[in-house]
Amino acid sequence: MASILAFYNRVEYYNQRVKEGEWSKKEDFCFYEKTIYPLSSQTIGIIGYGSIGKRVTRLADSFGMRVLVNTRSDISDKTNVVQVDRDTLYNESDIITLHLPLKDDTKYMINKNSLLKMKPNTLLINTSRGPLVNADDLLEAMENNIIAGAVLDVLEVEPPKNPHPVIFHNHCMVTPHIAWAGLGARQKLLEGIVDNIANFIEGKWVNPVY
């Protein structure tokens, strides 16, 4: 949601314009050069409906957004959520956000063919795994205005020793794999480690992997 708000409200762009002195030149109390759209008028497409996808659904619903979900599980009993096939999600979403693991059938799932099915105003967000997105195809799509832009928190190679040109595109925002790294999330991870050690000492098995 932070990625969506940053992109839709043009936070990075307007911050730079203020630093360049453009606001100081104006006679009015504000100025705007790019349209800001209310989230309540947008359709968000969520691919992957695990714990993160469900949390994003609840947040999107609180903003009054129409929510489309693509997942293998049946969620037809969920209110305010419309389960659709992937092509429908591509065709109808203003925002598409990925929340699924990297597997053979998900690698490069966002590619030239899928991008061509999206609307020209689509914002793509990837906070899952970098290789879900074909960077070459994404760059081409943004250069040709096939989609509006992308926010990427993950890349195929991390850290990017030889950065892909997509990183520097004006319609792309990139953060260094920090979507997971909130203070509360890191504290929860540490508490989980402590609990696992304590359970092991006491001979208790928690989340065994066979």
Out of 12, 20, 158, 191, the active site residue is 158
State the distance between the two ends of the chain, measured CA to CA, in whole angstroms: 36
Between CA 194 and CA 16 the distance in angstroms is 43
The reply to whether 169 and 190 lie within a common domain is no
- Say yes or no: 190 and 146 in one domain: no
* Amino acid residing at 186: R
Q: What SS3 state is found at 182? A: coil
| List of residues 6+ apart from 7 with CB closer than 8 A | 123, 149, 151, 173
Which residues face 151 on adjacent strands? 125, 173
Are residues 203 and 145 both part of a single domain? no
Same domain? For 6 and 98 the reply is yes
* Shared domain check, 109 and 70: yes
Q: Are residues 152 and 200 in the same domain?
A: no
In whole angstroms, what separates CA 66 from the centre of its chain? Answer: 16
Q: What pLDDT is attached to residue 183?
A: 84
Report the relative pairing of strands 149-152 and 81-83 from DSSP bridges: unpaired
Q: Out of 10, 17, 86, 129, which one is annotated catalytic?
A: 129
Give me the helices (H) in the chain, please: 2-8, 11-19, 51-62, 86-92, 112-116, 135-143, 183-201
Q: Closest Cα partner for 152 from 162, 16, 139, 143?
A: 139
- Domain match, 193 and 106 both: no
Q: Check if 164 is active-site.
A: no
Catalytic residue among 17, 86, 169, 177: 177
Q: Are residues 83 and 66 in the same domain?
A: yes
Residues 129 and 197 grouped into a single domain: no
Give the Å distances, CA to CA, from 175 to 6, 28, 168.
Answer: 12, 33, 12
User: Quick one: 188 and 155 in the same domain?
Assistant: no
Counting the structural domains of the chain, the total is 2
Query: How high does pLDDT run on average in the chain?
Result: 92
**Which CATH number do you get for residue 60?**
3.40.50.720
Tokens 């429908």 locate to 88
Asked if 177 is an active-site residue, the reply is yes
pLDDT of residue 20: 94
Which structural domain range is residue 205 located in?
181-210
Q: Which residue has the tokens 């001979």?
A: 203
Does the pTM surpass 0.85? The reply is: yes
**What's residue 182's pLDDT?**
77
What DSSP line would sit under 88-106, residue for residue? HHHHH-SEEEE-----TTT
Note whether 27 and 103 are same-domain residues.
yes
Active-site annotation holds for 169: no
In the predicted model, residues of the chain with pLDDT beneath 70 are 76-78, 209-210
| pLDDT for position 179 | 82
**SS3 for 37?**
coil
Q: Are residues 106 and 74 in the same domain?
A: yes
Determine the pLDDT at residue 77: 67
Count CB neighbours of 8 within 10 A.
19
Q: What is the pLDDT of residues 66-104, one digit of tens each?
A: 999 999 888 866 677 999 999 999 999 999 999 999 999
Note the pLDDT of residue 184.
Answer: 82
